[in-house]
Amino acid sequence: MATTTKSAMSFQAEGLAKKKQLKLYEDLLRPRMIEEKMLILLRQGRISKWFSGIGQEAISVGATNALLDDEFIFTMHRNLGVFTTRRLPLTRLFAQWQGKLSGYTNGRDRSFHFGAPEHHIVGMISHLGPQLALAGGVGLAHKLAGEGRVALAFTGEGGTSEGDFHEALNTAAVWQLPVIFIIENNGYGLSTPTSEQYRCETLADRAIGYGMRSEIIDGNNVVEVYNTIHRLAGEMRQNPEPVLVECRTFRMRGHEEASGTKYVPQEYFDEWSKRDPLDNFEQYLLAEKVLSSRKIKSLRDKIKKEIEAGLEEAYAEDAIVPNLAKEMGDIYAAADAEDVAPGTDTQEMRFVDAVSDGLREGMRKHDRLVLMGQDIAEYGGVFKITDGFVKEFGKERVRNTPLCESAIVGAGLGLSIKGWKAMMEMQFADFVSCGFNQIVNNLAKLHYRWGQRADVVIRMPAGGGVGAGPFHSQTNEAWFFHTPGLKIVYPSSPEDAKGLLLASLADPNPVLFFEHKALYRSNSAEVPTGYYTTPIGKAQLVEEGDEASIITYGMGVHWAKKVTEELGISADILDLRSLLPLDYEAIETTVRKTSRVLILHEATMIGGVGGELSAHISEHLFEYLDAPVMRVASLDTPVPFAKSLEAQFLPHIRLRESLEKLVSY
Ligand SMILES: Cc1ncc(C[n+]2csc(CCOP(=O)(O)OP(=O)(O)O)c2C)c(N)n1
């Protein structure tokens, strides 16, 4: 209970109304009391894991109080004070931590890994750093709409060592996005002290390299945090720009409760416990007669009751009874647009022009669609697909990006959180590896985790046969095929390229859109003019025959047509067009019809899409088969550079022999 000793810290609270000071106090007290309760429950074995923010509450509480209610906050694992300050119902919070249905993720994710859109909070994924670029995307949406709002993102000092920190801050600086990046420098990243985490004198110094402002403040002083963020946010709402704020604080407990604190010298605890954010502010308010012992008691009683009521309700809720249809049904967001059939007017277009035409129609249709990619603005992209777009749509919506795939995928997700659509052009599909984490862990899982759309299309110029070697030739769809939550589209014709691209842009889910580079300028056809969509997830029988079925996509469709014609074999050629979701019905129909199947793809064999298709056919259609399911794919080597080596690598030289073997089996 409070005594009126002098606070060890000084608070510049003169400019704050007493009511505000009391609110800051109550907002500090609530997470502290919840945590104290959690530690008891942990000892009783009633919860399994706890990441403590005790000692760091002033950062969450001061920053949240300084923002407007509709400004987004991107939280980490020690930001309970953000959730409590925004007054999320405690019952739901507790239900979330217990994995109950009424929690924020329907039992699908743990601890603070969730978003609460109605409270403008977006929680982390475990990988820490990726969070920062999302705030940039929200900042971009604010800036484009002239909303006069800021976004705020937290990171620990450990997270600042990740490449994602650099990419997010650099992009926010180049684009002058209104984002407050807060580093909670609490001395340790798990067991790693700051001396083993970074070499610069202060983390705030890094801002100089990005060309942005920075400040270092006392993270244990709630008034200092509040005043700083309040001032900065006020300035940034008028003049958008990013700012880096390093909050000095200390982690008073273990990384998580089970991991202990043996590696932390006792004198640090002794020193920092004198600087406790709650105790010190309490002493100050008591000395200033803003607070009384009676008021403290009544606040404590009130919060205790809130916690107990919340816990009782959460514990009373039954454990989840799994509902398979619901789990599978929540992987994707439901489409909100009907497919649009093409008109009758057509025009001859090369594949590359059809992609460009689709993108232009998409930009006209969706006025909140933003295109991002390296060199896509005035230069028109390395394949000239966005040539002339800046003139029609302006540089705000056709954005050159710095060279950073992860931050741009993340920015796309941030735009989506604000209700915008984003298309990112990977300069070459090979470079997607640098944005891999954002795609497979953030975009793909978001809707399943907490119902948030990831309305982002990533265009992937892919494929070999162009003498470009291992890093400009891959068709890497299999890297993503294994990831629930993504859609993968791979057109083989100009008409489909346009229609499927427009369907992808209309779709609220993350879509990886593969375009074979070798088709760009070698393949032309009549393409419907104007806006139309080709449904995702529907294969197309492009040739009909009865001796065999060739199931393929992308360049494979062209190889299949050529070889069947050369050999005079009558085959069904099924162009899958979409790999996720797959059109199992069309696959099964052709297999039942011909009883002989060859699966063809340009990607390497092992772990490729063909393996999955082959397994499905063997498992479900075994009795229809007159021959083993055959696969033809690229060699399991990197894509070689020399013409002769690449010719050997690619699958079509093996196609003829395999097809003959299949039909004569
Ligand atoms: C990419 C990645 N690598 C490793 C981890 C394991 N991990 C979780 S938290 C953490 C330390 C984070 O330190 P910091 O960013 O300073 O935050 P703090 O825990 O101190 O608040 C580590 C190594 C992880 N979650 N993600």
pLDDT value at residue 139: 98
Question: Are 16 and 223 in contact, with CB atoms under 8 Å apart?
Answer: yes
Greatest alpha-carbon pair distance for the chain in Å reads: 96
Ligand 1 midpoint to CA 385 (Å): 40
Which of 255, 437, 442 for mutating ligand 1's site (highest number of atoms within 8 Å of CB)? 255
Decide whether any atom of ligand 1 lies within 6 Å of the 189 Cβ.
Answer: yes
Helix (H, G, I), strand (E, B) or coil at 234: helix
pLDDT value at residue 8: 77
Ligand 1 midpoint to CA 158 (Å): 6
Ligand 1 midpoint to CA 281 (Å): 29
Tell me the C-alpha to C-alpha distance, in Å, between residue 31 and each of 216, 306, 307, 379, 469.
24, 12, 10, 52, 55
Number of helices followed by number of strands (H, E) in the chain? 25, 23
d(CA 276, CA 257): 19
Decide whether any atom of ligand 1 lies within 6 Å of the 158 Cβ.
Answer: yes
Q: Whose CA is nearest to atom 17 of ligand 1?
A: 156
Tell me the C-alpha to C-alpha distance, in Å, between residue 188 and each of 278, 448, 504.
21, 32, 43
Q: How, if at all, do strands 571-575 and 540-543 pair? A: antiparallel
Q: What is the pTM of this model?
A: 0.97
- Selected catalytic residue, list 77, 166, 447, 472: 472
d(CA 662, CA 354): 35
Q: Whose CA is nearest to atom 24 of ligand 1?
A: 127
Decide whether any atom of ligand 1 lies within 6 Å of the 254 Cβ.
Answer: no
Q: Whose CA is nearest to atom 2 of ligand 1?
A: 127
**Residues of the chain with confidence (pLDDT) below 70:** 1-6
The DSSP annotation for 303-337 comes to HHHHHHHHHHHHHHSPPP---HHHHHHTSSPPP-S
At which residue do the structure tokens 């629930």 appear? 484
Tell me the C-alpha to C-alpha distance, in Å, between residue 35 and each of 91, 280, 452.
15, 18, 28
* 230 annotated active-site: no
pLDDT value at residue 200: 96
Decide whether any atom of ligand 1 lies within 6 Å of the 159 Cβ.
Answer: yes
